[in-house]
Homo-oligomer: A and B are copies of this chain.
Amino acid sequence: MKVICGGIELREAASKVFKACAVRSTNPMLECIKLEAKGGIFKLTATDLELGIEKSVPASTPIEGEVVVTGTFFKDFVSKLSYEQIELSVSDNVLRISYGESDGKLMTMPSADFPQIRGVSKEQHFVVQKKDLRDLVNKVAFSAGTDDYRPILKGVLIEIEEGGAAAIALDGYRLAKCERPIVSTTAKMHAIVPARSLKEIASILDGEDEPIIVYVQKNYLMVDLGHTKITTRLLDGDFVNYKNIIPTSFETTTIVPKSPFADGLERAKLLSRNDRNSMVRFDIKDKCLTISSTSELGNLNENIIINATGKDMSIAFNANYLTDILKNIDTDTVTLNYINSTSPVVVTPTTTAEDLLYLVLPVRLV
Contact = CB atoms under 8 A, between A and B. Distances in A.
A297 B106 contact: yes
Contacts of A77: 267, 270
A238 interface: no
A181 interface: no
A77 B266 CA distance: 9
Given A101-B303, A101-B305, A267-B104, A297 B80 contact: no
Interface string A265-308: 01100110000000000000000000000001111111111000
Interface string A78-105: 0011100000000000110000111111
Given A102-B301, A102-B303, A266 B80 contact: yes
B298 A105 contact: yes
A354 interface: no
Number of this chain's copies in the assembly equals: 2
Contact of A70 (B95, B264, B297, B300): B297
A300 to B, nearest CB: 4
B105 A299 contact: yes
21 contacts: A73-B271, A77-B270, A80-B266, A80-B267, A81-B267, A95-B298, A100-B303, A101-B305, A102-B300, A102-B301, A102-B303, A103-B300, A104-B267, A104-B298, A104-B300, A104-B301, A105-B298, A106-B297, A106-B298, A107-B297, A107-B298
Given A77-B267, A102-B304, 8 more contacts: A70-B297, A73-B270, A73-B298, A77-B270, A80-B270, A82-B263, A102-B264, A102-B303
